Structure 1
Amino acid sequence: MENFNRLNDLYFKKLLGDKKRKNLTLSFLNGILNKDDENCFTDITFLDKDNEPLTLDGKLSKLDIRADLNDGTQVDIEVQVCPFKLMAERSLYYWSKMYSEQLEKGAEYKKLKKAIAINLLAFDYLEDEQDWHNIYNLLNVKSHNKLTDHIEMHFLELPKFTLKDMRKIRASEAWIAYFSGKYSKKELEEIAMTTPAIKEAVEFEDIFLQDKIERRAYEQREKAIRDYYSYMSAFKEEGLQQGLQEGLQQGLQQGLQQGIRKVAINLLKANMSIDFISQNTGLNEQEILHLQQLITK
């Protein structure tokens, strides 16, 4: 399938969030975290966080993939396709929740383990950084000495990625090449020569696309995202033209609100999360739930 979006949340979770394919998840994590054969992670336990009740500004807090590694390290892998300006703040919030949830009431702080947040982004986010992979820790602003290794945040920006030498490819580069969608099946086969997990990922992708139910769900998610971009682009253009001519009038505002509600309804029909809809339309949770009730009537 041409232009297959491997960052589609449904596909991504099927590929790297399923215990049946945890060897792929470990390959991805060990590559991104630059682990060698001697200190690599050897096992992973997935934690289902889709129904997390905690909220942030009235929005449902939802992690894409949350897991514990064999040494107790906590990891959160989040994929973001649509540009989001507050990515750092949201990632830090998820990290803090992941870190604090380790301790039960009355437990000692020494039981806390390292927590790692990995953000896989389909857009440029860090304007002052040229590299596609940037890692952040807690450091002294003068000496740059690390206070603790318990916090680690990774930002992987796919648009910045370019494979320089396919013959000397690292595991992290192989995975980013796969998710970037910039390389053909033939090129991925060559990459798989150095990273066998990529071959398995490509094989699973073929099986996924041959499943009519899975493919239909995937296409619905993709349509919802395309509709969102289309509506937002049209509204922004219309608003700009109207604003240049006569300013933003009340009628335009009402039209924009109606359009935004239509976008939200389409996203609900595609089974997108309340958190995703709220972030990309500006509607609060109560407004979205009201629209959901109208649909189900």
Structure 2
Amino acid sequence: MLNKDDENCFTDITFLDKDNEPLTLDGKLSKLDIRADLNDGTQVDIEVQVCPFKLMAERSLYYWSKMYSEQLEKGAEYKKLKKAIAINLLAFDYLEDEQDWHNIYNLLNVKSYNKLTDHIEIHFLELPKFTLRDMRKIRTSEAWIAYFSGKYSKEELEEIAMTTPAIKEAVEFEDTFLQNKIERRAYEQREKAIRDYYSYMSAFKEEGLQQGLQEGIQQGLYQQAIQTAKNMLKDKVDIKLISKYTNLSIEEINKIKVE
């Protein structure tokens, strides 16, 4: 994704929060954090996010700022600060106004679009938007996204792996991983937790819409009854008769009369 070469490559990779329980529904099941360092001092925060999260930009900027600020020890000079990059690999659509699957954000002048500094760089990679156009001209970054997207068959992945040998290793490792009964059980439990999360959210959303609709209808009918009572009071209709036709209590009608 960063188009680095052998002279500007990764020198260290750290898995963050690797001891978190992956089966809970507190958000830990849906993300993976990786911190990587380049040999020029650049730091990279990589986050894989499965479940939709509306504040992804704010979240990414927050963790980018922590990564950037933690470079300086007390009393250190600003010139020691190095570039910090955040990469967000998302299994959901997030950027509604963008059509491309890979979008990069910097700090720019809103008029001239000149870059203030190259120290900040935030990537969003949205898997649902990815489509492999021509397998014969596939780039390394596209090959990896095709692998992560889950859209392609094993046969198609084997063809993709011909362009990127590391993907062949990943596919072989995945096969070995799934043959391990314990690892496969943990994987299936995690997948079940994610499916349950989506099901619960869908059910709650539907229930909320129905409840909101009913409350709206009831509120509308109530306001209509109040207006009817006001009109009948103006015509000096008996309060008991108003109550009969509006379903409002005598107390409510007397209150309306006073107002």
Under TM normalisation by the shorter chain, which class is it? 0.7 to 0.9
Amino acid corresponding to residue 70 of structure 1 in structure 2: N
Residues 134 and 70 of structure 1: is their aligned pair in 2 closer, same or farther, counting only changes over 3 Å?
same
Instruction: State how 1:60-139 maps to structure 2 within 5 Å.
Output: 64-139=33-108
Secondary structure, aligned partner of 2:75: coil
Partner residue in 1 for 2:12 = 44
Partner residue in 1 for 2:244 = none
How far did 1:93 drift? 0.2
Q: Does 1:235 align with 2:204?
A: yes
Normalising to structure 1: TM-score of the pair?
0.66
How far did 1:247 drift? 5.3
Contact 1:45 1:69 in 2 (8 A): no
Secondary structure, aligned partner of 2:59: helix
More displaced, 125-134 or 233-242? 233-242
2:45 and 2:62 map into 1 onto residues whose CA distance is 11
Amino acid corresponding to residue 75 of structure 2 in structure 1: G
Residue deviations 1:31-89, cap 9 Å, x none?
x112345x54152232645589xxxxxx99x8611122222111111111111111100
Amino acid corresponding to residue 199 of structure 1 in structure 2: K
Residues 178 and 248 of structure 1: is their aligned pair in 2 closer, same or farther, counting only changes over 3 Å?
farther
More displaced, 150-159 or 208-217? 208-217
Partner residue in 2 for 1:147 = 116
Unaligned stretches of 5+ in structure 2? 21-26, 219-259
2:213 and 2:97 map into 1 onto residues whose CA distance is 32
Amino acid corresponding to residue 42 of structure 2 in structure 1: T
Instruction: State how 1:157-176 maps to structure 2 within 5 Å.
Output: 157-176=126-145
How far did 1:133 drift? 0.3
Amino acid corresponding to residue 107 of structure 1 in structure 2: A
2:178 and 2:19 map into 1 onto residues whose CA distance is 27
Amino acid corresponding to residue 79 of structure 1 in structure 2: V
Partner residue in 1 for 2:167 = 198
Secondary structure, aligned partner of 2:40: coil
CA RMSD of aligned residues (A): 2.3
Q: Does 1:215 align with 2:195?
A: no
More displaced, 212-221 or 193-202? 212-221
Contact 2:13 2:34 in 1 (8 A): no
How far did 1:111 drift? 1.2
Secondary structure, aligned partner of 1:68: strand
How far did 1:198 drift? 0.7
Secondary structure, aligned partner of 1:147: strand
Residues 235 and 40 of structure 1: is their aligned pair in 2 closer, same or farther, counting only changes over 3 Å?
same
Residue deviations 1:261-285, cap 9 Å, x none?
xxxxxxxxxxxxxxxxxxxxxxxxx
Partner residue in 2 for 1:9 = none
Secondary structure, aligned partner of 2:116: strand
Partner residue in 2 for 1:284 = none
How far did 1:120 drift? 0.5
Amino acid corresponding to residue 208 of structure 2 in structure 1: G
How far did 1:203 drift? 0.7
How far did 1:119 drift? 0.3
1:47 and 1:103 map into 2 onto residues whose CA distance is 22
Bigger RCO (CA 8 Å, 6+ sep): 1
Amino acid corresponding to residue 59 of structure 2 in structure 1: R
Q: State the number of aligned residues.
A: 210
Contact 1:49 1:66 in 2 (8 A): no
1:94 and 1:113 map into 2 onto residues whose CA distance is 15
Q: Does 1:182 align with 2:151?
A: yes
Amino acid corresponding to residue 181 of structure 1 in structure 2: G
Partner residue in 1 for 2:225 = none
How far did 1:207 drift? 1.1
Amino acid corresponding to residue 46 of structure 1 in structure 2: T
Amino acid corresponding to residue 154 of structure 2 in structure 1: K
Normalising to structure 2: TM-score of the pair?
0.75
Amino acid corresponding to residue 86 of structure 1 in structure 2: L
